Structure 1
């Protein structure tokens, strides 16, 4: 089965996935190295396969991930995670699992140098809940 995603659908997946790494990086700014978190997480997303991998091979526009606060970024990213998961569950359930796995693997890769701080662990929980809310 071949699934075709609109440009908007692809953008939603990118904002959700790369936004999750952005949120974790912002949450880790107080106790670690946000650039290393962002780099390691983004590299992991670039290793995704299947339809999700093809979509995530293109990075979203920076304006889609910017915000004046973590809350402002979360207001855009968390709903995008839920929407991306929902649209994939409806159209290609195996790709929904692939998307979830890619995002959670990226978060794990982003925290492999040191255990997540309590703030980062809370952000990982929020991201996981957003993906699973669909």
Structure 2
């Protein structure tokens, strides 16, 4: 049984998910590899199922990213932690579904680079995974 989510809750989840795509693409250097990483991550996000998939299929309002990786991370990483909490409250197991989906999204971006993840991608992946596992405040 799922609980109806408020628009602000949905927006937090959308910011978190789209932010993972933005962060992973930003941590991939190169004129051609960064867009490929972003496309791979976005395609992975489009395969989300359950309540997570329903929310991510909706077109979000304007996202608060300005292009700065540091500022984007300041918004996205706490939103990831909060999203797991929101989804856990809404429906049993949905926080885990979101967590797995975001890990797949992030890992898909790293696989777009045929040479394997570079140190910046690996570090961003670690930060995302830490945020997904962190206890919500």
Q: TM-score normalised to the size of structure 2?
A: 0.88
Q: Which consecutive unaligned segments of at least 5 residues does structure 2 have?
A: none
**Are residues 86 and 2 of structure 1, via their aligned partners in 2, closer, same or farther at CA, if it must alter by over 3 Å?**
closer
Q: Distance in 1 between matches of 2:36 and 2:74?
A: 24
Shift of 1:52: 0.3
Is contact 1:18–1:59 with CA below 8 Å preserved after alignment? no
* Number of the residue aligned with 1:36: 36
Q: TM-score normalised to the size of structure 1?
A: 0.90
* Number of the residue aligned with 1:70: 69
Is 1:57 matched up with 2:62? no
* Number of the residue aligned with 2:108: 109
Shift of 1:13: 0.6
**Are residues 90 and 10 of structure 1, via their aligned partners in 2, closer, same or farther at CA, if it must alter by over 3 Å?**
same
Shift of 1:45: 0.6
Cα deviation, 1:42-97, whole Å, max 9, x if unaligned, reads 11111100000000012434442x22421011111111101101122233241001
Q: Distance in 2 between matches of 1:124 and 1:39?
A: 16
Higher mean alpha-carbon deviation, 27-36 vs 47-56, is at 27-36
1:111 partner SS: helix
* Number of the residue aligned with 1:128: 129
Is contact 2:24–2:110 with CA below 8 Å preserved after alignment? no
Is contact 2:2–2:90 with CA below 8 Å preserved after alignment? no
Q: Which consecutive unaligned segments of at least 5 residues does structure 1 have?
A: none
